[in-house]
Structures are given as C-alpha cells and as structure tokens.
Chain A
C-alpha cells in the first residue's frame, strides 16, 4: 500500500505496447532489405538457403514443419485458419447482438419506441416490449465491526493525506518565500541601477526580460546595438549582465610612441576605478568602456585605411602612423589584463605624455563625432535618392597627426631661422629678432561657458593649423613672413608654406608662392637673407659718404649679381676688378674677395677669369654661440677690402 495519496498533476505518458509502430518497421525493412516489390518466393527461398549454408541447421521446429509441408497441405492449413477467424468473428458478433438485445429490452420499459429500433426481430417475437425491469437493490447492512474497520482505515488514509498535503504546502511556501526573496533582490538591484541613471528597458527581441542600455546612441549601428545587455536573474536572485556573444574581457586602445626602433612611450591601461570590481555597476561600466574602445579602434582602422596615402599602414590589430622624422605612433587594441604590457620600461617622460595626449585626443574626437552625429540626425533630412549616401570616416587620427606634424615642422623652421639669424649676428649684422606665432588660428574659447563652446573649441581644432613666423630684415622697411599651414582633413594634405616678404631694395623680386618642402623654405629664407645682406653691404656706402667727404672717387661695392651673392668694385683697369662673393648657409657665412679679369667684371662662372689670389673670411654658428665678439665684423672686412 502506498504511504501517501498523491494527485497526479502531470499528464501520464502513454506507453506504446510495441516498441516500433508499423510504419517504422516498414521503413526499417525498406532500409535494410530494399523495397517489397522485388520480394517473391524464389528470392526468399534463396535467401533462406543461403543462410542455411552459412549458419548451419539452426532452423526452428516450425520452420522444419513448414519445409515438410507441401503446397496442398499448406493451402489446407490456410483455409482452416481462415475458417477459425471467421468463426471467431461470428461468435463475437452474436455476443454483441445479444448484448444489444438485452440492453434494448431493458430500455424498452422506459423508452419503448426508441428501444424497438435496436431490437432484433427474433426478440420482438419472443418477448413483449417492456417485459424487463431493473431496480436498485440495497445491500444488506454490514456488521458494526466491519463499518468501524472501514471508518478507521479511511480516517487513517485521510490523516495521511492531510499530512502529505501539509508538507507539500509548506514546501511550496518555503519555495515561494525563497523566490520572493530572490525577486526582491533582483528588483532592488535593477532599481539601484536605474537610480544611478542607467536606462533600463525591455529588450526589443525578448519582450519579457529587462535590459540595460549603456552604449552610445550615436555610434555606428553595429556598436549602438551592442550597447544593450539583458539583466538576467541568477538562481539566488543576484543580477547577471548577459551580453550575449560579446567577449566579456575589457580591452583598450593602446598608444605607443616609437622613436627609431625603440618604444619610448606607452599609455597605461585604465585601472579599475573602484575596489568593488565585481559589482553590477562596475560590470556595466566595463561593458560600456569596452564597447567604446572597440568602436574607437574600428573607426581608427577605417580612417587609417583612408589615410594610406599619408604612409599609414594597418595590420590586423595594429595601426602604424609615421609622424615626422623618426617618430612613429602605434595604435593597437589590447586586453587590459595582459601582463606583457607592463614589461617595457624604456620610456621617456615626454613621450609618455605624448602618447597620453594622443590617446585622450582620439577619445575626445570620437565623442565629438558622436555629438556631430546627433546634430546631423536631428536635422531635416535630404530628399531620398536611390544612391546611398557615403558614410565618411571620423576625424580621429587626422587632427592628431596634423598637430604633431605641424609642431615638428614649426620647430624645425623656428630653429632654422634662429640659427641663420645667429650666424648673421656672429658676423656683426644686427638682425632684428623674429617672432614666431604658433597655432595662430586657434582662438581661446569664450570665457563664458556655454554648451556649444566645447564643440566650438574642438571643431576649431579640426581646421587646418596655421603658424606664422615674422621678422624684420637689415635693410629698413623690409620684412619677411612665413605662413605655414598643416592640413590633414582634405587635399592638399601635409604642410604648406607661404613665404612673403617686403624688400623694396630688390624691386623685381617675386614671391616663391606656395612651397611644400621644408628644404625649399630653407632655401627661400636663406636666399632672402643673402639678398638682404648684399643690399645692406651695397647701401652701406651711403652711410660712409658723409664721414669721408674728401674722397669722392672712393669706390664701393656694387651688387652686380645679388641673387648669387656677388658684388663688384670696378676699377679703371678694364681687366682688373675686385669681386666679392657672399655665401650664406644655416651655420656659416663666408665672404670671399678676388680679382677678375674679364671686361667690366660682368662675366660669370668660368668667363669671369678669376685670379688665384683670394681673401676669405668665414663666420660660423658655433663661434657665435661661444664668443660673439672675438672676431672682427663682416662690415669691417668689407670696408677693408673696398679700400685696398
């Protein structure tokens, strides 16, 4: 006897009598033996004979009997069986008819007309309608002892069942209590997330579960859709952030600075901001950060591919950007917890700062691109056209690269101008100071902070960068200006120089126009200063005149070929003239005087017929730095040479 009475709540599974149903068996036979169509007696006999040969006489008795029988016997057997089946069917039919007659007769008392239709003709003849009746018969009363037994047993049963029911209810109650506790925990943590300002919503594909939106609405659709994770409930009610198929590790875009073949600067992985690293808040933050970093790297690669013309190369997980000289910037997406990241110690402080600056700027620019996307999205859209609008790359690398290139070029130009000016000073020329105005087109934002001031600041940094170098020259009222612009956003790319000047003493001088190589700018500035020196020497005569008025025939240098730095003193002798050649380079100024024998001294190159006798004087940059006033000045040399 079972110790408790339970109500089955599940549907009971019906067990089939046979393991395989007929269709399954037929399919099996078809599979195993082929179709039924080819089966005939010969084939089966042949098969049996074959098996017999192989397996020996393992036939059952029945098979043996069958073999003995010949066809007539078998036919008889078949007939006999058929007769048996028919007989059996007849008997069952008869029994059914009897039962029907019986029931009909019994019913005919109450519903004679209806019952008559199902009565057999024989019964109607034999028995009149309604001649059979039924009554409920009360059984004889049982003795008290039996009744008592029954009541005791049933009471026992009932108590047992109550007990079991109570147990079940208690179990269900405790389970419900646990469930309520878990739900409370789950919902309170969901509410805590919501209170912290995260957007909690239903999942679009899975309407019954909750999700938290931590991604960026304005990101590329692939990354925007990744910014939604479902908030699942663990068994104990704790919250689980289910990000689906996205790998859960956090990664970041690492920026490294490479000089030559050495890595000299590297950004550090962002450390965990809180000690409670496993809280749901931290996990959401981490998921948000890794979505951002993934998108950042995706956009960087997209932009780097478009910048292949600037020498940027991309590997599967590495972007290499040559900046200037031997400086190179490497970007890659690495795991935060990768231990190998901390191995490199060969770093300089400046380059660590540079790497950090690049890392921050690309992140700021991506956020800026997101804002621009929002701005663009909320404008009235253009009419629909069949061709798809291009999706331009964000400006992330280009502004950073433009800044670095511009800084490098501007520093180079500044050092060049300073050097050449110092060289001139060492020779005694009083060249005025030049001014360098770096990033002249970057304006400071409005002092009053406004929501658009930040965006204005960033969008101004996306424009071409401009720096201006200005200086006065030796000859009065003359000056030069070098305006350099670096632009990486639209062609022409790279740094371009615009050299302009005001040199009234050389009237037919034209501006070299737009230059794009630093060597060309060097040459232009050096040439300009050379012309200035030549003009300064030739014009110095004017100052000499009042001091020595008694020598009217005094000769002075005439700038015969100023562009080549050549000056001439023509003597009365037709084939004997004194020539001076000035050569100015970054770190050297040399003055050379010699006699030429060609007529009027206007010959040039081999035609000038120069003598062997030369006087040369040079001033070097290094000397000027060490001892500026030790040597005699160039003007003294010029005056001395003119008077001899």
Chain B
C-alpha cells in the first residue's frame, strides 16, 4: 500500500480555531485519541549466514531468493502503535492527596473523570501515580513506513506503508525474536477527522517524564497527562492529511488521491498551508 501525505504546522494559538474549522469542513466531531508509539530498530542477528552457497550458476529457488532478499535487504526503524484511552492515564490528584483526607480534589483533571482510578495511591517509592491501565491487555499494531519516494514530480509526500496487528501485552519478546530491538517510546495526542477518503490528524508528540532505568523497555504504567511534556516546546501541533492507496503502481489512483489532497489544500488554504514534507526528515532507514 502507498500513503500520500501533506503536512502543516499549527501554532498553539490557532489550534482551537482550526479544530472548529475542521469540524465544520468534515461535518463530524473531532475524535480525540492518544497513541503510545514504541520505536524499534532492526538489527542483523549474528550468525545468520549468507544463504548463497555453491556455484553461482546454481539456480536459486523462489523461496530462497525471497529469504535472501529479506535477510540482506535494507533495515528500517518501525513503530509499534497502541491506542489508549484518556482513563488510562494516572490520576494526578491521587498522589497529591494520598496522605491527606480523601475529599475529592476540586482541581482534578477534566481528562480523568473516572474516579475508579483511585488505586495504588500508597505507592510511595516513586511520585508517578498509577492508574487502571492494564499493560497486558494493550493492543498493538506494527506500522512500517518506507522513506518517501524520491524525485516525484507531484507535490505530495508518498511512501510505501504497511500495517499489521500484533498480539496484546508485552510486545518486546516477539519483536526481539523478529530481529528488532526497542529504542524508545513516546506518546501522540491529537484529534482525528475523516474527510471523504482523507484522514486528517491534528496531533503533537508528548514525551514521558524521564525516570532512570525505564528506557530499556516499554512502560507498564502511564503517567498523568499533565506530566508529559510536548516535544515541541511551544506546544504547537502538526496537521497531517493522509490518504492510503491500495495499489501504488496504478498511476490513475495515485493521481486521484493526490488530486483529493490538493483539493483539501485549496479548501484549507486560508487557514493553514499544507505542503509536502522534507524527504530526509521522514527517513526510516537504519544507518
């Protein structure tokens, strides 16, 4: 599958207004979503021998060729994406009032209306509060994105993509078995809109508060949303309009898809400027 993309940067003061505009354009309410994103890096396992043995005139069977290609092909970073709910975040009021009287905190976060998350409040060895988040039931999806195609004349970013569902729970052993090692993780917070065939994402990247020793594996608990810091210090958002095409070799559909994206760009022209991204900034190859 192919993915066609356009991006725009949205400063924080424009965010609320743009949400309204997009809601009007797409005639739907924004769907607020949070995604955990784990970054894995492919590595070549030691001891994997080159399967090409013997004389070169030996005709390789199709399977062998494919295996060779997989083993010796380029290596990429991939992302493992897990959607989470707003109730999965820890309640900051729990730690704050853990030792005080249990009257409800009037300053409780509006994002955590669920009071069922008042548990493990006595966990005093760290000041990261706990929530009802169950890591073992977390669903995951593997997202592979190639480096965007070079030298396209069209003014959209297009790249090869693939997604696959993964088992729930702790994903690291499976990924290790496939030759991927965990690098880091971050959180994406944003709103999604659907406009005909275009998925519009208005999101920003959040970083977890750093705790030493937790970088080697994905977190089993999610800290409170207030403790997360945006990657972009000003808090600005990224608007991403994307469209997937089933068969990227079909010029006709690729053209249609980019026409649709250009149509959206025209419609949003007075609000934001959608443009293609720098190719090398979306490079996913392992170097």
- CB-CB under 8 A from B196, the residues of chain A are 381
Whether the pair B199, A381 counts as a contact (CB closer than 8 A) is yes
Whether the pair B256, A381 counts as a contact (CB closer than 8 A) is no
A270 CB, min distance to chain B CBs, angstroms? 28
- CB-CB under 8 A from A217, the residues of chain B are 27
Whether the pair A385, B253 counts as a contact (CB closer than 8 A) is yes
Whether the pair B246, A385 counts as a contact (CB closer than 8 A) is yes
A203 to B27, CA, bound (A): 16
A385 to B197, CA, bound (A): 11
**Of A372-380, A393-401, A469-477, A482-490, the one touching chain B:** A372-380
Whether the pair B197, A381 counts as a contact (CB closer than 8 A) is yes
Q: Is B28 an interface residue (CB 8 A)?
A: yes
A615 to B256, CA, bound (A): 87
A412 to B108, CA, bound (A): 63
Whether the pair B247, A380 counts as a contact (CB closer than 8 A) is no
A378 to B244, CA, bound (A): 16
Provide 17 A-B residue pairs closer than 8 Å at the C-beta atoms, listed in order of the A residue: A374-B28, A377-B28, A378-B31, A379-B194, A380-B194, A381-B194, A382-B244, A383-B245, A384-B197, A384-B243, A384-B244, A384-B245, A384-B257, A385-B247, A385-B253, A386-B250, A386-B252
Q: Is B64 an interface residue (CB 8 A)?
A: no
B109 CB, min distance to chain A CBs, angstroms? 25
Assuming A374-B28, A379-B194, A382-B244, what are 18 further A-B pairs, CB within 8 angstroms? A217-B27, A377-B194, A378-B28, A378-B194, A380-B192, A380-B194, A381-B196, A381-B197, A381-B199, A382-B246, A383-B1, A384-B197, A384-B246, A384-B253, A384-B256, A385-B247, A385-B253, A386-B247
A599 CB, min distance to chain B CBs, angstroms? 74
Across chains A and B, which 4 residue pairs bring their CB atoms closest together, nearest first? A383-B246, A383-B244, A385-B246, A384-B245
B168 CB, min distance to chain A CBs, angstroms? 20
A149 to B246, CA, bound (A): 96
For residue B2, which residue of chain A has the nearest CB? A383
Give me the interface of B with A, judged by CB distance under 8 Å.
1, 27-28, 31, 192, 194, 196-199, 243-247, 250, 252-253, 256-257
A516 to B243, CA, bound (A): 48
A547 to B194, CA, bound (A): 84
A435 CB, min distance to chain B CBs, angstroms? 43
Contact with B along A357-390 (1 / 0, CB 8 A): 0000000000000000010011111111110000
- CB-CB under 8 A from A382, the residues of chain B are 244, 246
For residue B24, which residue of chain A has the nearest CB? A201
Interface core residue of A378, A384, A385 (most chain B CB under 10 Å): A384
CB-CB under 8 A for A380 and B28, given A385-B246, A386-B253: no
- CB-CB under 8 A from A386, the residues of chain B are 247, 250, 252-253
A376 CB, min distance to chain B CBs, angstroms? 10
- CB-CB under 8 A from B257, the residues of chain A are 384
- CB-CB under 8 A from A374, the residues of chain B are 28
A255 CB, min distance to chain B CBs, angstroms? 32
A40 CB, min distance to chain B CBs, angstroms? 64
- CB-CB under 8 A from B252, the residues of chain A are 386
For residue A218, which residue of chain B has the nearest CB? B27
B118 CB, min distance to chain A CBs, angstroms? 24
A377 to B196, CA, bound (A): 7
- CB-CB under 8 A from B250, the residues of chain A are 386
For residue A374, which residue of chain B has the nearest CB? B28
- CB-CB under 8 A from B197, the residues of chain A are 381, 384
- CB-CB under 8 A from A384, the residues of chain B are 197, 243-246, 253, 256-257
- CB-CB under 8 A from A385, the residues of chain B are 246-247, 253
A380 to B242, CA, bound (A): 11
For residue A380, which residue of chain B has the nearest CB? B199
A386 to B254, CA, bound (A): 9
A168 CB, min distance to chain B CBs, angstroms? 43
For residue A386, which residue of chain B has the nearest CB? B253
A27 to B244, CA, bound (A): 62
B197 CB, min distance to chain A CBs, angstroms? 5
A220 CB, min distance to chain B CBs, angstroms? 15
- CB-CB under 8 A from A381, the residues of chain B are 194, 196-199, 244
For residue B256, which residue of chain A has the nearest CB? A384
B163 CB, min distance to chain A CBs, angstroms? 11
A383 to B27, CA, bound (A): 21
- CB-CB under 8 A from B247, the residues of chain A are 385-386
A340 CB, min distance to chain B CBs, angstroms? 41
A374 to B197, CA, bound (A): 14
For residue B252, which residue of chain A has the nearest CB? A386
A390 CB, min distance to chain B CBs, angstroms? 16
A384 to B255, CA, bound (A): 11
B200 CB, min distance to chain A CBs, angstroms? 11
A584 CB, min distance to chain B CBs, angstroms? 59
A273 to B60, CA, bound (A): 81
- CB-CB under 8 A from B243, the residues of chain A are 384
A386 to B247, CA, bound (A): 9
A606 to B199, CA, bound (A): 80
- CB-CB under 8 A from B194, the residues of chain A are 377-381
- CB-CB under 8 A from A377, the residues of chain B are 28, 194
A384 to B31, CA, bound (A): 22
A631 CB, min distance to chain B CBs, angstroms? 71
- CB-CB under 8 A from A380, the residues of chain B are 192, 194, 199
A368 to B245, CA, bound (A): 30
For residue B29, which residue of chain A has the nearest CB? A378
A55 CB, min distance to chain B CBs, angstroms? 72
